Amino acid sequence: MKGNFMDKALKFLKSKQKQYLKKAANVNNKLNIREWSQNILNAALDQAGGKNLFILLFPYRH
Give 1-40 pLDDT, tens digit per residue: 566 777 887 788 788 778 777 887 777 778 787 888 888 7
pTM of the model: 0.36
According to the model, what pLDDT value does residue 62 have? 45
According to the model, what pLDDT value does residue 56 have? 56
pLDDT average, residue stretch 37-54: 71
- The Cα-based distances of 48 to 15, 17, 23 in angstroms read 50, 46, 38
